[in-house]
Amino acid sequence: MATGQKLMRAIRVFEFGGPEVLKLQSDVVVPVPKEHQVLIKVHACGVNPVETYIRSGTHLIKPTLPYTPGTDVAGVIEATGDEVSAFKKGDRVFSTRTISGAYAEYALAADHTVYPLPGNLDFKQGAAIGIPYFTAFRALLHSARVKAGQSVLVHGASGGVGLATCQIARAYGLKVLGTAGTEEGQKIVLQNGAHEVFNHREVNYIDKIKKSVGEKGIDVIIEMLANVNLSNDLNLLSFGGKVIVVGSRGPIEINPRATMTKESSITGITLFASTKEEFQQFAAALQAGMEIGWLKPVVGSQYPLEKVAQAHEDIIRGSRPPGKMVLLL
Ligand SMILES: NC(=O)c1ccc[n+]([C@@H]2O[C@H](COP(=O)([O-])OP(=O)(O)OC[C@H]3O[C@@H](n4cnc5c(N)ncnc54)[C@H](OP(=O)(O)O)[C@@H]3O)[C@@H](O)[C@H]2O)c1
């Protein structure tokens, strides 16, 4: 490395593959922010399932190798480019995207993808906001266009996106039903906005949901595992009901007639299809949630940077504490 350049620890991926391709390096050059860019000293970063798909090389997004994974950091502004007016050194922030990657001691980001982190949230919680809350907001408000008084089933409510969805849905006046796969998960789902919770590992849980919602059915289902649940979802919907597919890990057979009789719809979403304006709009609503206090990220498993391969294994395998997985720097 050239002398005079500041170096940092960061995860680098030199080839697509399993978790073992995540390499911790200690001589990665700290980037220098230009114009509308900021440099963030990272305290925590979120681990999202999509980062495992990208790392494996099977996702549509294929970064140029080598790269540092991740998008969601929380930390403190270290330096700013000449055109940055919204932030100064020392400000506490979180991001929804980075330019240089998130699994690192420092992250470079465009200033419009960085937001103030209020003092009532710690850095681990800050790292849990980006993808989970912006996705939940896009699914509920932008795609499903939910209205107060409607019912929503958060199918897979105990993870990063699911808990965010429960909190937002409750704050917007919906009747919230959630599912989790463990007793601990069910408890946390109830503590974070759900009126009722069901266990998606119980054989008869769909019948229990049907019994709870009655003839009318559910207005909106936010689905985290469509390849397992989509067929059941269509049977749970109300007339004109909507399934919003947030997560799916394979194919599933459905009967399209189920959509005809109820004039129901299935819509997929992609957070990164959101425009710059939509991100700003989602951020304004979420910022209000942080100020008022209904937006409170729940942090689950925590790993040091050197255990990142374990984190990638655990997030796909599933059996781990509820809440958002984070890396600590
Ligand atoms: N479309 C987008 O833009 C977008 C954005 C973000 C995430 N996603 C996708 O959305 C999914 C969830 O993301 P995440 O960050 O919340 O992941 P996560 O934190 O790993 O949570 C996974 C969730 O799935 C639940 N689950 C497990 N088995 C289930 C089943 N049979 N039915 C319903 N839910 C089940 C888990 O519950 P238990 O652990 O309690 O069993 C947990 O609540 C992932 O597939 C991710 O790739 C998509």
Report helix angle 130-137 to 276-292, nearest 10.
100
User: Residues 89, 79: contact at Cβ < 8 Å?
Assistant: yes
Q: Is 225 in the pocket of ligand 1 (CB under 6 A)?
A: yes
CA 161 / ligand 1 centre spacing (Å): 7
Stretch 134-146: mean pLDDT, rounded? 98
Render pLDDT for 206-217 as a digit per residue (tens, 0 to 9).
999 999 999 999
Q: Is 327 in the pocket of ligand 1 (CB under 6 A)?
A: no
Mutate to test the pocket of ligand 1, among 224, 236, 246 (most ligand atoms within 8 A of CB): 224
Which pLDDT does position 178 carry in this prediction? 98
Render pLDDT for 68-113 as a digit per residue (tens, 0 to 9).
999 999 999 999 999 999 999 999 999 999 999 999 999 999 999 9
Q: Look at phi and psi of residue 175 and say left if phi exceeds 0, alpha if psi is from -120 to 50, else beta.
A: beta
Answer whether residue 50 shows pLDDT above 80. Answer: yes
User: Residues 200, 156: contact at Cβ < 8 Å?
Assistant: yes
CA 219 / ligand 1 centre spacing (Å): 20
Beta strands in 18-110 (DSSP E): 22-29, 37-46, 73-80, 92-95, 106-110
Which pLDDT does position 59 carry in this prediction? 93
Q: Which atom of ligand 1 is nearest to the CA of 268?
A: 1
Answer whether residue 321 shows pLDDT above 90. Answer: yes
> Above pLDDT 90, what percent of the chain?
98
Question: Mean pLDDT, the chain, as a whole number?
Answer: 97
Stretch 153-171: mean pLDDT, rounded? 98
Which pLDDT does position 186 carry in this prediction? 98
Q: Which atom of ligand 1 is nearest to the CA of 323?
A: 19
Lowest-pLDDT choice from 130-139, 279-288, 319-328: 319-328
Q: Look at phi and psi of residue 263 and say left if phi exceeds 0, alpha if psi is from -120 to 50, else beta.
A: left
Token pair of 191 as six digits: 């503590």
Token pair of 216 as six digits: 């009318």
Which pLDDT does position 4 carry in this prediction? 77
Which residues lie below 8 Å from residue 237, measured CB to CB, with a gap of 6+?
Answer: 217, 218, 219, 221, 243, 262, 264
Q: Which residues make beta-bridge pairs with 267?
A: 244
Q: Which amino acid is at 53?
A: Y
Q: Is 48 in the pocket of ligand 1 (CB under 6 A)?
A: yes
Task: With CA atoms as reference, report the closest residue to 328 among 9, 5, 6, 7.
Answer: 9
Task: With CA atoms as reference, report the closest residue to 73 among 127, 134, 135.
Answer: 127
Render pLDDT for 269-318 as a digit per residue (tens, 0 to 9).
999 999 999 999 999 999 999 999 999 999 999 999 999 999 999 999 88
Using CA atoms, how far apart are residues 218 and 240, in angstroms rounded to an integer? 10
Q: Is 101 in the pocket of ligand 1 (CB under 6 A)?
A: no
Answer whether residue 1 shows pLDDT above 60. Answer: no
Render pLDDT for 181-196 as a digit per residue (tens, 0 to 9).
999 999 999 999 999 9
Q: Is 113 in the pocket of ligand 1 (CB under 6 A)?
A: no
Which pLDDT does position 3 carry in this prediction? 59
Using CA atoms, how far apart are residues 294 and 46, in angstroms rounded to an integer? 20
Residues belonging to the chain: 329
Stretch 29-54: mean pLDDT, rounded? 98
Q: What is the DSSP letter of 279?
A: H
Provide the pLDDT confidence category of residue 320 given band limits of 50, 70 and 90.
Answer: confident
Answer whether residue 147 shows pLDDT above 70. Answer: yes
Using CA atoms, how far apart are residues 87 and 101, in angstroms rounded to an integer? 20
Q: Look at phi and psi of residue 136 and say left if phi exceeds 0, alpha if psi is from -120 to 50, else beta.
A: alpha
